Chains A and B, each alone.
Chain A
Amino acid sequence: GNSVTQMEGPVTLSEEAFLTINCTYTATGYPSLFWYVQYPGEGLQLLLKATKADDKGSNKGFEATYRKETTSFHLEKGSVQVSDSAVYFCAQLIQGAQKLVFGQGTRLTINP
Chain B
Amino acid sequence: DVKVTQSSRYLVKRTGEKVFLECVQDMDHENMFWYRQDPGLGLRLIYFSYDVKMKEKGDIPEGYSVSREKKERFSLILESASTNQTSMYLCASSSGTTYGYTFGSGTRLTVV
Residues of B within 8 A of A93 (CB): 97-98, 100
Interface residues as binary, B42-60 with A (CB distance below 8 Å gives 1, 0 otherwise) = 1101001010000000100
B25 in contact (CB, < 8 A): no
Contact partner, B40, options A43, A89, A100, A104, Cβ 8 Å: A104
Count of A interface residues, CB-CB < 8 Å: 21
Judging by beta carbons under 8 Å apart, are B104 and A34 in contact? no
A27 in contact (CB, < 8 A): no
A-B contacts, CB under 8 A, total: 55
- In the bound complex, CA of A6 to CA of B62 (Å): 27
Stretch at the interface among A44-52, A62-70, A78-86: A44-52
Query: Chain B residue with minimal CB distance to A51?
Result: B98
Determine the main DSSP class of A at the interface with B. strand
Judging by beta carbons under 8 Å apart, are B105 and A43 in contact? yes
Judging by beta carbons under 8 Å apart, are B98 and A89 in contact? no
Residues of A within 8 A of B103 (CB): 36, 43-45
CB distance from B41 to the nearest CB of A (A): 6
Question: Given A44-B90, A100-B101, does the pair A89, B43 have CB atoms closer than 8 Å?
Answer: yes
| CB-CB contacts below 8 Å: A56-112 with B | 89, 91, 93, 98-100, 102-105
Judging by beta carbons under 8 Å apart, are A32 and B97 in contact? yes
Interface residues on B, range: 20 to 34
Residues of A within 8 A of B40 (CB): 104
B75 in contact (CB, < 8 A): no
- In the bound complex, CA of A93 to CA of B48 (Å): 14
- In the bound complex, CA of A28 to CA of B94 (Å): 22
Judging by beta carbons under 8 Å apart, are A89 and B100 in contact? no
Judging by beta carbons under 8 Å apart, are A100 and B100 in contact? yes
Judging by beta carbons under 8 Å apart, are B41 and A104 in contact? yes
Q: Can you sample 13 A-B contacts with CB below 8 Å?
A: A32-B98, A34-B100, A36-B103, A43-B4, A43-B104, A44-B43, A46-B100, A49-B98, A89-B43, A100-B92, A100-B101, A104-B42, A105-B43
